[in-house]
Amino acid sequence: MRLHNMFKKTGEKITSIHSRNRRKPEAPEGILKKCNKCGAAILTDEVINGKYICPKCHGYFRIPAYKRIELVTDAGSFEEWDAKIDEGERPENPLNFRGYTEKVKALRVKTGLDEAVVTGKATICGYPVVIGVCDGRFMMASMGHAVGEKITRAVERATKERLPVVLFTCSGGARMQEGIISLMQMAKTSAALKRHSDAGFLYIPVLTDPTTGGVTASFAMLGDIILAEPGALIGFAGPRVIEQTIGQKLPEGFQRAEFLLEHGFVDRIVTRDEMKEVLRQILKMHTVIDEKKEECPEKKKENRKNISAGKENVSAWERVLKSREKERPVGKDYIDRLFTDFVELHGDRYYKDDPAVVGGIAYFHGKAVTVIAQCKGKTTKENLERNFAMPSPEGYRKALRLMKQAEKFQRPVICFVDTPGGFLRNGGRRAWTG
């Protein structure tokens, strides 16, 4: 934009700050650019050399695919796959949609991309992965034949090479210019991911702004662990379409990543600064390490002694009093003291995330385990948030989901049950491992 009207207040600017369907920035091209989230003038270079984050409001701009790969993978480790899909394998313009061929050709020149997704193999902090990144500059990364084909091939090759898959999604949905062929990509990518999952491998989609339509309805939501960037729009139909259809006003923050987290559809929101580290942690936890550290027999005996020692000299009444102590540890304390590198995972993928149940993956003496804990709060406020550790159906569904996940990855499950006083059907408070 030009300097002279940089601080001019225009109606358009005001709506772009406040309206929920704010316009999204493309990669800035001039020296200065106006952030369309906070309206501040920002240096283009500062944004490009950083992580495409507004230095003023910390809003996220969309990232070109190769830049994203550079940010999350180890330098020089990326090997691109299917950079160009042969013309013969590609239905160029199946509906003879007017202007479509020309548009794709022009975009190839403009973006230097062959299509709206880049796929390949790389390492993240030394852990090998198959990675795919959608690029919004190419027809809003809509899913046509080429996009579906590249993702499917990448997932199939990941299954063959026994590798986890990380996909950064961003899409306006299915590519309408390809009609039914674009919709078929939903089934194709989903089927490839099912085979990858059945073979026991990990898939992490990272939902970035915006992930919508047929992509949300297929590969974006099929992850073992679903991550999202803060503030990302994630949904099927757009908010305006829904409002017009159901004739109701939608709740505040509808379809944003935070809303989805609260409603149990996303495991975790991860900032750009933490992204590589969080991926490293999760990948490490899903890498089987062969070294078996056997505990020496004397130590085992000693431990057993200690355990039995704990059982002596405590009367039933003392136990009752202990269970009612105000300062007694709650689920989260056990997690913090007994485990390391706890990665909390949220949601039942159905309705809500239940704060009464805390779950995730952590290390227990060097072994990755799934931890599920009924969790009280320390204060009244916390207790109200956690519903005094009384799970709702969504809490049980979260626990069940995490147990199934543990089964897939052959992790032991450690549960901490903290049944509130009035509910003694399970024999009061008890912790078990299994």
Footprint on this chain of Zn ion (rule: CB under 5 A): 35, 37-38, 54, 56-57, 59
Residue number with CB closer to Zn ion (29 or 325): 29
Smallest distance, Zn ion to C-beta of residue 35, A: 3
- Do residues 383 and 422 touch, judged by C-beta distance below 8 A? no
Of 407, 419, 397, 417, the closest CA to residue 353 belongs to 397
Smallest distance, Zn ion to C-beta of residue 269, A: 19
- Do residues 152 and 165 touch, judged by C-beta distance below 8 A? no
Smallest distance, Zn ion to C-beta of residue 10, A: 16
Residue number with CB closer to Zn ion (62 or 150): 62
Residue 295, token pair as written in the block: 């505990």
275-285 and 65-72 helices cross at what angle (nearest 10)?
Answer: 60
Smallest distance, Zn ion to C-beta of residue 170, A: 19
Reported for 14-17, long-range contacts at CB under 8 A and 24+ positions apart, including other chains, are none
List, in order, residues 6 or more apart from 428 with CB less than 8 Å away: 323, 419
Residue number with CB closer to Zn ion (55 or 393): 55
Is the backbone of residue 332 left (phi > 0), alpha (psi -120 to 50) or beta?
alpha
Smallest distance, Zn ion to C-beta of residue 56, A: 5
Smallest distance, Zn ion to C-beta of residue 137, A: 20
Q: For the chain, report the end-to-end CA distance as a whole number of angstroms.
A: 62
Residue number with CB closer to Zn ion (273 or 302): 273
Residue 292 vs residues 164, 365, 410, 412: alpha-carbon distances, Å? 23, 11, 16, 15
Of 360, 364, 363, the closest CA to residue 343 belongs to 360
Residue number with CB closer to Zn ion (38 or 95): 38
Residue number with CB closer to Zn ion (94 or 231): 231
Q: How far apart are CA 240 and CA 250, in angstroms?
A: 9
Residue number with CB closer to Zn ion (7 or 350): 7
Are β-strands 165-171 and 127-134 bridged in parallel, bridged antiparallel, or unpaired?
parallel
Smallest distance, Zn ion to C-beta of residue 22, A: 11
Q: How far apart are CA 105 and CA 174, in angstroms?
A: 19
